[in-house]
Structure 1
Amino acid sequence: MNYRKLGRTGIEISEIGFGAWAIGGDAWGPVVDNQSIEAMNRALELGVNFIDTADVYGSGHSETLVAKVIKGRRDKIVVSTKGGLWGHHRDPQGAPVYDTPEKVIEACDASLRRLETDYVDIYFCHLWWDKEEETEAFMRAFDTLKRDGKVRSVGVSTESIDYIKHFNREGALDAVQLDYSILNRSPEKEVLPYLQDNGIGAVVRGPLKMGILSGKFTRDIVFPEGDIRKNWPSEQWFKDSLDKVDRLRALEGGERSLSRIALRYVLSHPAVSSAIPGAKTAVQAESNASASVRPLLSDNDLQLIREVSPL
């Protein structure tokens, strides 16, 4: 396993992390807790030292599973969690409200209790929309959480360059978690260059485009009930994505699986600190971790990728 610095924080993280959304059990089809724990343990055995979760994943269930894995070795594992999309403070439409620093701190404290730790290495704002009062609440809470030692670094989960600049207007942003993959190269235009220029760590979610770049999906696939991908087969963008996957298969061969190629692609960008594909089984965790050292991508590989999925 190779390791990289998280921006200017000095925190060293494995370039392949463990994305713990799926193990929450409420968005990605059937999941078995024991298998989820085995998957995380296997990832750690292979050198992964970074686990990313969120309070909303399984309404806290993902965090409770992560707690079981980090117990007794907390100082050896970099843990990030997110707040902002789930909580008991709601507006009349039922959306969560984080309009004061106290509500953000309350959410972070609840995550710490579920994780059974007194600090997290990265605490992300999990908002996907720019509400001025909530942005300000998170920024003020971040200062307090850092001062009190509850978080080592702070970030935001978004692909919006304006939102990122807003959060970073006083140089306070340590990391950004963003969607980036062969099938979504848009961050290469503005976001990744900005992060690199400002010493902000980039944590890539969706590097396999929610499984599409694993190469195992077919046009007649049927996703189970409770899977957020349930309606994908009827959507044109999904069919177009599978067409691109078919063209990308020219890069496969031997140990060069499509998923490893996809992970190596996002890791080839100098701004990226870590990619966090999800895994529900130890076998999936092994496949993800193997991409840290192989395959390296040639100029011809990159040229084909850019032709198949242009900016």
Structure 2
Amino acid sequence: MHHRPLGKTGIEVSEIGFGAWAIGGDAWGPVEDTASIRAMERALELGVNFIDTADVYGNGHSETLVAKVLKGRRDQVVVATKGGLMGHHRDPEREPVYDCPEKIIQAFEDSLRRLETDYIDVYFDHIWWNDPRETEAFITAFAHLKREGLVRAVGVSTDDFDYVRQFNRDGTLDVVQLDYSLLNRQAEQHILPYCQAQGIGVVVRGPLSKGMLTGKFTAQTQFPEGDVRHNWPQEDWYGSQLDQVEQLRVLASRERSLGQLALRFVLNHLAVSVAIPGAKTPQQVEQNVAASTRPLLTEGDVQLIETVTSGRST
């Protein structure tokens, strides 16, 4: 497993991490806690040292499962969690839920309790719409948590460039978590170059595009109730993305699966610190982790990817 600096934080992270949204059990179809724990244990055995969770994943259940694998090895694992979505509403006519630093600090302390730790390595504002009151509350809370030694680094999980710049107005933003993949390259326009120039660490969520880039989905795939992908087959873009995946499949080989190619693609960007594909089983972890040692992208790979993802016919 290769490691990279998490921006200018001084923290070193495995370039493949563990995304713990799915193990929360309420958004990605059936999942068993015992399998989730085995998956995280296997990730750590294979050199993963970065686990990303959030208070809203399974209403805190993901954090409680992460706590189980931290026992006896807390100092060996970089733990990231997020606050800002738990109980949130998007009604612009109502007051924001996190309208003062005290509420954010309470949410942070709740995460500490569930994770059974006395500090968090990276704490994210988990919110992607822009409410100035919440922005100010989070910035103030972040400063307090850093002063108290309760966090090593702070960040924002967003795909909004203006939001990133607001949080970094005083140069105090440490990390950005964003959606980036072969099928969603929007971050290349502004956020990734900005983070690279500012020394801000980048955590990539969605590097497999919620499983689409594993190549296992078809037009006949049915997602269960409660899965965030349940309505995908009815969406206009679904068939188009399936076509793109099929065109990219030619780049897969014995040495590198399609999913591993997708992970190598996001890791190819110099701004990226760590990619956090989700996993619910040890077998999925093994596939993800192996991407760290799979062949790098060739010039021919990059050319075909540009052709396919730009919408031009092959």
TM over 0.5: yes
Look up the match of 1:212.
Answer: 212
Instruction: Measure the CA separation in 1 of the matches of 2:210 and 2:96.
Output: 25
Look up the match of 1:277.
Answer: 277
Instruction: Measure the CA separation in 2 of the matches of 1:90 and 1:65.
Output: 29
Instruction: Measure the CA separation in 1 of the matches of 2:261 and 2:267.
Output: 10
Moved over 6 A (4+): 88-96
Percent identity of paired positions between Structure 1 and Structure 2: 66
Q: What whole-Å deviation, never above 9, does each CA across 1:201-241 have from its counterpart, x for those lacking one?
A: 00000000000001101111011111111110111111111
The alpha-carbon distance between structure 1 residues 226 and 198, as it changes in their structure 2 partners (threshold 3 A), is same
Q: Structure 2: 5+ residue runs without aligned partners? A: none
> Which piece of structure 1 moves more, 85-94 or 66-75?
85-94
**CA RMSD of the aligned region, Å?**
1.6
Q: What whole-Å deviation, never above 9, does each CA across 1:111-156 have from its counterpart, x for those lacking one?
A: 0000000001000000110000000000000000011111100000
Instruction: Measure the CA separation in 2 of the matches of 1:143 and 1:14.
Output: 26
Length, aligned pairs only: 311
Determine if contact 1:123/1:153 at 8 Å carries over to the other structure: yes
Look up the match of 2:72.
Answer: 72
SS at match of 1:104: helix
Determine if contact 1:4/1:15 at 8 Å carries over to the other structure: yes
Amino acid at match of 2:246: D
Look up the match of 1:109.
Answer: 109
Look up the match of 2:287.
Answer: 287
Look up the match of 2:5.
Answer: 5
SS at match of 1:118: coil
Instruction: Measure the CA separation in 1 of the matches of 2:16 and 2:94.
Output: 36
Determine if contact 1:185/1:310 at 8 Å carries over to the other structure: no
Look up the match of 1:26.
Answer: 26
Structure 1 residue 90: deviation in Å? Answer: 10
Instruction: Measure the CA separation in 2 of the matches of 1:220 and 1:191.
Output: 36
Instruction: Measure the CA separation in 1 of the matches of 2:247 and 2:84.
Output: 38
Instruction: Measure the CA separation in 1 of the matches of 2:160 and 2:247.
Output: 29
Instruction: Measure the CA separation in 1 of the matches of 2:9 and 2:174.
Output: 7
Look up the match of 1:126.
Answer: 126
The alpha-carbon distance between structure 1 residues 115 and 89, as it changes in their structure 2 partners (threshold 3 A), is farther
For normalisation by structure 2, the TM-score amounts to 0.96
The answer as to 2:39 corresponding to 1:39 is: yes
Amino acid at match of 2:230: K
Look up the match of 1:248.
Answer: 248
Determine if contact 1:19/1:51 at 8 Å carries over to the other structure: yes
Q: 1:163-242, aligned counterparts within 5 Å? A: 163-242=163-242
Amino acid at match of 2:26: D
Q: 1:258-273, aligned counterparts within 5 Å? A: 258-273=258-273
The alpha-carbon distance between structure 1 residues 306 and 106, as it changes in their structure 2 partners (threshold 3 A), is same
For normalisation by structure 1, the TM-score amounts to 0.97
The alpha-carbon distance between structure 1 residues 46 and 85, as it changes in their structure 2 partners (threshold 3 A), is same
Structure 1 residue 255: deviation in Å? Answer: 2.4
Q: Structure 1: 5+ residue runs without aligned partners? A: none
Amino acid at match of 1:179: D
Q: What whole-Å deviation, never above 9, does each CA across 1:98-121 have from its counterpart, x for those lacking one?
A: 010001100000000000000010
